[in-house]
């Protein structure tokens, strides 16, 4: 006899309390294996696939694509030990009402210990069992009624041809609004289609639409096969119009909500201060050009600043620390896990390069490139977005010289890098045109005073102006 088990949205770690369903990977009636990914969700930190700890037949799914669920809410139910899917309900998306719910399902801890179940519900962690091939099981028709054919799953946009789209969110947005990605010209690098491209196409489509609404079809006229029937619970709209004309309300959730919460906490808890200095980066730029001309892996400018930062933190360890409010202690950290601010279609993210102090310039360049690409694709894991001890913020890419950033809580400092531009500069007693950059350090005044912060920033500036200074500390 089949046992129906309920699988709930697991704790995804790092304090995450909710997730949004991006794409279902299984349908009602599908047979799933232990630890097979069943749904793709977007958290405030990353896009992840959630594996189901049970093996059996999917009998129900809870939530449409675009629905936001709290941790602990039901995701789906699985009939374990079922030989046929006759036990499955006919609704593909039943409402989670108490009256319609199956008998209370045992928790994973009390589930039978067999090959059809696993106690693992953490994302990315499984038993190592071989993944079974998905198959669709046809449901036997009920007596006295015709069996309705299962609706075909909607293919991904651009399945008929190559489409320059990386982000699953962009694909979903296009799918929800009926935008054919193959007809769009991407504004991103190498023709990459970005969210703004899809939103522009949606706006143009709304403007060009006929003002007169079509007359309602007769009750006996069947809908064309190419028209998708809207689901009873559509995905929530991210931006909703306000009662006041021209005003739009955007919910603070997902990445934007997580950023808002973290920055607000930083402002509440950290008494920050900022100091800055202009530096002549001509020699640093020349050194990078010479390194890249020698062959081998290319060295990024951000990697050189990272090497300078780790050397500066070795001289001023106070800035590689955090504050334990409960114990009223400053906790100085031995490793440098270097975060760097990256702007993506999903918003601002801060990937972390682990053990940056032990990496070469080549290794740092490769890791920065890998994490940046993962951030643009929305595939960064929660572990790659947490645990930083110091942050680099290269706001010069936005064409600005200076900034007073908010510290990435619970870190103690952040180095800001402005744009590098030709400016008049007194060099060796004469006025010359040099490549000048403004550097800023925002620091937690609880962990050190201005003398330490100034010493750190001055050392960074000296290494920028004379890269040979860095060689003396290696």
Calculate what percentage of the chain has a pLDDT beyond 70: 70
Q: What is the pTM of this model?
A: 0.56
- How many domains would you assign to the chain? 3
Are residues 120 and 77 part of one domain? yes
Count of beta carbons in the 10 Å neighbourhood of residue 284 = 23
Instruction: Give the range among 109-113, 296-300, 315-319, 344-348 with minimum mean pLDDT.
Output: 109-113
213, part of any domain: no
Is 69 part of a structural domain of the chain? Answer: yes
Residue whose C-alpha is closest to residue 17's, from 33, 41, 1, 53: 41
The confidence score (pLDDT) of residue 180 equals: 83
Pair (84, 197) in one structural domain: no
Residue 431, pLDDT > 60, answer yes
The span from the CA of 99 to the CA of 418, in Å, is 60
Question: Is 328 within the bounds of a domain?
Answer: yes
**Angle of helix 282-293 versus helix 301-315 axis, rounded to 10:** 120
409 is catalytic: no
Q: Are 88 and 13 in the same domain?
A: yes
Claim to verify: residue 35 and residue 174 sit in the same structural domain: no
CATH number of the domain to which 195 belongs: 4.10.320.10
Is residue 169 very low, low, confident or very high in pLDDT (cuts 50, 70, 90)?
low
Residues 275 and 422 in one domain: yes
Same domain, 198 and 64: no
Q: Does position 234 have pLDDT exceeding 80, yes or no?
A: no
Q: Are residues 159 and 303 in the same domain?
A: no
Answer yes or no: is pLDDT of 294 > 80. yes
Res. 242 pLDDT band, cuts 50 70 90: low
Residue 246 is assigned to a structural domain of this protein: no
450 and 303 in one domain? yes
As a whole number of angstroms, the distance between CA 425 and CA 436 comes to 8
What CATH number does the domain containing 359 carry? 3.30.559.10
Averaged pLDDT score across all residues of the chain: 77
Residue 278 lies in a domain: yes
- Among the candidates 136, 162, 193, a domain finishes at 136
Predicted confidence (pLDDT) at residue 353 exceeds the cutoff of 60: yes
Q: What is the pLDDT of residue 285?
A: 96
What pLDDT is attached to residue 258? 79
Mean pLDDT calculated for residue range 305-309: 96
Tell me: do 28 and 91 sit in the same domain.
yes
Q: What is the pLDDT of residue 474?
A: 56
Instruction: For residues 453 and 461, give the distance between their C-alpha atoms in angstroms, rounded to a whole number.
Output: 12
- Segment among 48-52, 78-82, 106-110, 419-423 with least mean pLDDT: 106-110
Taking residues 265-269, report their average pLDDT: 93
337, 357, 409, 445: which one is catalytic? 445
Distance between CA 6 and CA 380 in Å, rounded?
Answer: 28
pLDDT of 112 > 70? The answer is no
Region 68-87: what's the mean pLDDT?
Answer: 77
Average pLDDT on 4-9 reads: 90
Stretch 184-205: mean pLDDT: 76
pLDDT at position 82, please? 58
Find the mean pLDDT for residues 59-75: 89
Task: Kindly state whether residues 168 and 39 are assigned to the same domain.
Answer: no
* Percentage of the chain modeled with pLDDT above 90: 42
pLDDT of residue 166: 47
Most confident of 63-72, 108-117, 353-362: 353-362
Q: How much is the pLDDT for 458?
A: 97
Highest mean pLDDT among 84-93, 137-146, 172-181, 413-422 belongs to 413-422
Residue 17 pLDDT: 76
More confident position, 179 or 222: 179
Q: Are 89 and 194 found together in one domain?
A: no
431 or 117, higher pLDDT: 431
Q: Are strands 347-349 and 47-52 parallel, antiparallel or unpaired?
A: unpaired
pLDDT in tens, 171-192: 767 877 888 887 888 776 667 7
Residue 237, domain member (yes or no): no
Same domain membership, residue 200 and residue 167: yes
Q: What is the CATH number of the domain that holds 65?
A: 2.40.50.100
In a domain, residue 259? The reply is no
Residue 282 main-chain phi, psi, to 5 deg? -60, -45
Q: Is the pLDDT of residue 442 over 50?
A: yes
Closest CA to 338 of 306, 363, 308: 306
Provide the domain limits for residue 412: 271-471
358 within a domain of the structure (yes/no): yes
């Amino acid at each position: 006899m089949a046992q129906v088990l309920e699988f709930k949205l697991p704790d995804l770690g790092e304090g995450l309390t909710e997730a949004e369903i991006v794409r279902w990977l299984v349908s009602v009636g599908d047979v799933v294996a232990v630890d097979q990914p069943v749904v793709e969700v977007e958290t405030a930190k990353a896009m992840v696939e959630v594996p189901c700890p049970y093996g059996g037949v999917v009998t129900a799914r809870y939530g449409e694509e675009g629905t936001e669920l709290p941790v602990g809410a039901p995701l789906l139910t699985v009939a374990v030990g079922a030989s046929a899917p006759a036990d499955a309900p006919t609704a593909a998306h039943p409402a989670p009402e108490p009256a319609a719910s199956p008998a209370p399902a045992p928790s994973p801890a009390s589930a039978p210990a067999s090959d059809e179940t696993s106690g693992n519900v953490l994302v990315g962690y499984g038993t190592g069992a071989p993944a079974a091939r998905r198959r669709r099981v046809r449901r036997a028709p009920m007596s006295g009624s015709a069996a309705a054919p299962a609706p075909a799953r909607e293919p991904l946009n651009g399945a008929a041809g190559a489409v320059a789209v990386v982000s699953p969110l962009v694909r979903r947005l296009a799918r929800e609004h009926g935008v054919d990605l193959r007809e769009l010209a991407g504004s991103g690098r190498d023709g990459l289609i970005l969210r703004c491209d899809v939103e522009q196409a949606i706006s143009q489509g709304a403007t060009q639409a006929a003002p007169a609404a079509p007359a309602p079809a007769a009750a006996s006229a069947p809908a064309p096969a190419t028209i998708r029937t809207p689901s009873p619970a559509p995905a929530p709209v991210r931006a909703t119009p306000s009662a006041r004309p021209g005003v739009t309300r955007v919910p603070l959730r997902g990445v934007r909500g997580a950023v808002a919460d973290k920055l607000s906490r930083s402002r509440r808890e950290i008494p920050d201060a900022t100091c800055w200095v202009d530096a002549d980066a001509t020699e640093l730029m020349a050194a990078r050009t010479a390194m890249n001309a020698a062959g081998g892996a290319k060295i990024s400018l951000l990697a050189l600043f990272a090497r300078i930062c780790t050397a500066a933190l070795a001289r001023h360890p106070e800035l590689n620390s955090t504050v334990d409010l409960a114990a009223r202690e400053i906790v100085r950290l031995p490793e440098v896990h270097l975060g760097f601010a990256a702007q993506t279609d999903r918003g601002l993210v801060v990937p972390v390069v682990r053990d940056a102090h032990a990496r070469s310039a080549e290794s740092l360049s490769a890791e920065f490139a890998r994490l940046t690409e993962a951030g643009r694709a929305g595939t960064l894991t929660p572990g790659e977005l947490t645990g930083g001890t110091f942050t680099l913020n290269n706001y010069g890419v936005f064409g600005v010289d200076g900034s007073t950033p908010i510290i990435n809580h619970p870190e103690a400092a952040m180095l800001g890098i402005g744009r590098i531009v030709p400016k008049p500069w007194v060099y060796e007693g004469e006025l010359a045109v040099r490549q000048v950059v403004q550097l800023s350090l925002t620091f937690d005044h609880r962990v050190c005073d201005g003398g330490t912060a100034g010493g750190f920033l001055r050392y960074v500036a000296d290494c920028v102006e004379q890269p040979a200074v860095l060689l003396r500390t290696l």
